[in-house]
Chains A and B, each alone.
Chain A
Amino acid sequence: GENVEQHPSTLSVQEGDSAVIKCTYSDSASNYFPWYKQELGKRPQLIIDIRSNVGEKKDQRIAVTLNKTAKHFSLHITETQPEDSAVYFCAASKGSNYKLTFGKGTLLTVNP
């Protein structure tokens, strides 16, 4: 089955700096890669996703890049703010008829 590795497990940055979280996947048939943000005590929520026919996608301060050849994808957060502090999970699947396989999560702390 699919295996998703996520790094780093913890990341601490100063407010205004950029943060990058990287994930690799094992199943070359995977074609959907969402990112979820989970604030302390809250439920995970989708923040951005990318499909295999796209190399990069941006939404304001967040962006995701995908390298299908290398089987890795990354989340980029620019101009970080304290409210970006949360656990971020990457995931992969082969489409809506397949379950998501999640990475182990990255605890991002943005220091004021």
Chain B
Amino acid sequence: EADIYQTPRYLVIGTGKKITLECSQTMGHDKMYWYQQDPGMELHLIHYSYGVNSTEKGDLSSESTVSRIRTEHFPLTLESARPSHTSQYLCASQGQRDYNEQFFGPGTRLTVL
């Protein structure tokens, strides 16, 4: 079934650790996005990509980095996690046609101790 997947779903780590949040989609979409969201709060765009080898920073400054080497894969990396990075991270994808819906993944809830 075509969907968008995120792993891990929950992650608790110590300060200073390097982490990578995985996002994969089997929908054939070229556009992918990363949002940061505290529970029930607004969605902050932190990174987006319109295709392979294309990445842009979003509206909210983030210490994370992303890569887009394959169309279906859009991982997010934190080189040195801090407690201020504790949040939920949502990945989304969108097709090429005009006015296409953004589909969201289930999210990764990150806690940095």
Query: Which residues of A come within 8 Å of B, CB atoms?
Result: 1, 32, 34, 38, 40, 42-46, 49, 51, 87, 89, 95-97, 99-105, 107
Interface size range on B against A: 20 to 34
Residues of B within 8 A of A95 (CB): 98-99
4 more A-B residue pairs beyond the given contacts A44-B43, A87-B40, with a C-beta to C-beta distance below 8 A: A89-B43, A96-B94, A96-B99, A105-B40
Given A44-B43, A87-B40, A99-B33: A34 touches B101 (CB 8 Å cut-off): yes
State which of B31, B45, B104 has its C-beta within 8 Å of the C-beta of A45.
B104
| Inter-chain contacts of A44 with B (CB < 8 A) | 43, 90, 104
- Between A34, A51, A99, the greatest number of chain B beta carbons within 10 A of the residue's beta carbon is seen for A99
Contact of A102 among B43, B98, B100, B105 (CB under 8 A): B43
